[in-house]
C-alpha cells in the first residue's frame, strides 16, 4: 500500500505551541491513534487522564492513525521524542507528516530510511533503543501525533462568457456573430500546486549531545541508559513502506488542531507507574495509595440521593 507523505507549505514561523501539560490521549474528537501488534490493537489502559500501552521486548508494532472526519489531515508523528521521518528531534511546526484521507486511516510502519522502506518499530530495552544508541533518552516511552487539518481551497470560478460589445455585433455578418458566440473559453493559468514537491532532506547525524557537554557528559548519559528499566523503541529490520510526496496546505501552518499520544512500557513498568493492568485494582502502586490516603473517613449518616434527584 502506498502512503502519501505530506509536504506542508509554511508561512513565517510564529512563536506558539500546544500546552505541554495537555494529557496524552489516544482518541480526541474525530481522530484516533492505535498501537497495533500481532495483527490487533496492543493492550491500552486509561490512567490519571492519559492512555498507556503495554508492550513486550522484541515485539514489533505499527502506528495506525484514523481520520473520522470529512477533511484530509496531515499527521506528524514522533516516537521517543524523535520525528519518524527524519529521525531528528520532533518539531511539528516544520516537519513533514503522513497524509490521511477523509474517513480513512494510514499505518506508519517504522523509522523512514528511504521513499520505499522503513526500519520497523520494535520494543527494546532503553539502552538498545534508537534514541539510546544515537542520543538522549529523556523522552523515551512516549508516542505523539500532531494533527493538521487541510486548509479549505475553494474551487476556481467558472470561466466568464465571452463579451462582445453590442455595436460591434451590428457591424458583423451573421456568420461572424455565430462564431464569436461559440468561441472556446480561454485556458486558465496553471495552478501553483502544480509545482514539483521539494526533495526530502537526507537523514544525517542525530547525536543530541553534540556540542553540549563533552566526553564526561556522554559517558554519564551512557551509564544512565544502561541502568534505565522498561521499554524503548528500536531501529528494527527493513520493511517495505512505499510513500509518495505531495503538497499539503495546513489550515494553521504551525499549530495543530490537537495532539494525540500514548505512553508505553512493559508490564512491570506500567504497574510501577500505577496503571491497573489487570483491571481488578490489585496492581495500583503503593505510592498512589499512600498519596490518596485520608486521615479520617466519615461515612454518611443518611441515604445518598440517586442521580438527578430531586426530579
pTM of the model: 0.68
Residue 60 has pLDDT above 90, yes or no: yes
For the stretch 72-107, pLDDT in tens is: 999 999 999 999 999 999 999 989 999 999 999 999
Question: What per-residue confidence (pLDDT) applies to 281?
Answer: 60
Q: What's the gap between Cα 173 and its chain centre?
A: 66
Q: Which of 134-143, 162-171, 267-276 has the lowest average pLDDT?
A: 162-171
Predicted confidence at residue 311, as pLDDT, reads: 60
Neighbouring-strand partners of residue 50: 47
pLDDT bin (cut points 50, 70, 90) of residue 278 is: confident
Question: Are 92 and 8 spatial neighbours (Cβ–Cβ below 8 Å)?
Answer: no
Give which of 31, 38, 116, 134 is closest to 80, Cα–Cα.
134
Query: Quick one: cell of 156?
Result: 476556481
Under the banding of pLDDT at 50, 70 and 90, the label for residue 186 is very low
Q: Give the pLDDT mean for 129-154.
A: 91
Residue 200 or 292, more confident: 292
Q: Which three cell numbers stand for residue 26?
A: 489516544
State residue 166's pLDDT score: 63
Query: What pLDDT does residue 39 have?
Result: 81
- Can you read off the three cell numbers belonging to residue 176? 461572424
pLDDT band at 188 (very low <50, low <70, confident <90, very high): very low
Phi-psi region of 38 (alpha: psi -120 to 50; beta: other; left: phi over 0): left
Q: How many whole angstroms separate alpha carbon 248 and alpha carbon 18?
A: 21
Rounded distance between C-alpha atoms, residue 83 and residue 24, angstroms: 17
Amino acid at each position: 500500500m502506498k502512503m502519501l507523505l505530506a509536504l506542508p507549505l509554511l508561512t513565517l514561523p510564529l512563536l506558539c505551541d500546544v500546552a505541554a501539560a495537555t494529557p496524552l490521549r489516544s482518541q480526541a474528537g474525530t481522530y484516533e491513534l492505535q498501537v497495533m501488534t500481532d495483527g490487533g490493537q496492543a493492550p491500552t489502559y486509561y490512567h490519571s487522564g492519559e492512555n498507556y500501552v503495554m508492550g513486550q521486548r522484541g515485539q514489533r508494532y505499527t502506528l495506525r492513525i484514523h481520520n473520522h472526519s470529512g477533511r484530509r489531515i496531515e499527521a506528524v508523528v514522533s516516537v521517543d521524542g524523535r520525528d519518524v521521518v527524519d529521525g531528528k528531534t520532533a518539531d511539528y511546526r516544520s516537519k513533514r507528516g503522513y497524509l490521511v484521507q477523509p474517513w480513512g486511516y494510514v499505518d506508519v510502519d517504522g523509522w523512514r530510511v528511504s521513499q520505499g522502506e522503513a526500519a520497523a518499530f520494535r520494543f527494546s530495552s532503553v539502552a538498545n533503543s534508537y534514541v539510546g544508541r544515537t542520543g538522549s533518552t529523556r523522552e523515551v516511552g512516549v508516542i505523539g501525533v500532531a494533527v493538521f487539518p487541510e486548509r479549505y481551497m475553494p474551487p476556481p470560478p467558472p470561466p466568464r462568457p465571452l463579451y462582445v460589445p453590442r455595436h460591434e455585433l451590428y457591424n458583423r455578418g451573421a456568420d461572424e456573430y455565430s462564431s464569436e458566440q461559440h468561441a472556446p473559453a480561454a485556458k486558465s493559468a496553471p495552478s501553483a500546486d502544480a509545482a514539483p514537491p521539494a526533495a526530502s532532506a537526507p537523514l544525517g547525524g542525530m547525536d543530541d549531545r553534540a556540542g553540549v557537554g563533552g566526553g564526561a557528559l556522554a559517558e554519564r548519559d551512557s551509564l544512565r541508559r544502561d541502568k534505565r528499566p522498561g521499554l524503548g523503541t528500536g531501529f528494527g529490520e527493513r520493511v517495505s513502506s512505499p510513500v509518495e510526496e505531495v503538497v499539503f496546505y495546513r489550515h494553521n501552518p504551525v499549530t495543530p488542531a490537537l495532539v494525540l499520544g500514548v505512553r508505553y512500557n512493559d508490564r512491570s513498568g506500567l504497574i510501577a507507574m500505577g496503571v491497573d493492568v489487570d483491571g481488578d485494582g490489585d496492581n495500583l502502586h503503593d505510592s498512589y495509595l499512600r498519596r490518596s490516603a485520608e486521615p479520617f473517613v466519615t461515612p454518611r449518616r443518611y441515604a445518598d440521593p440517586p442521580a438527578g434527584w430531586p426530579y
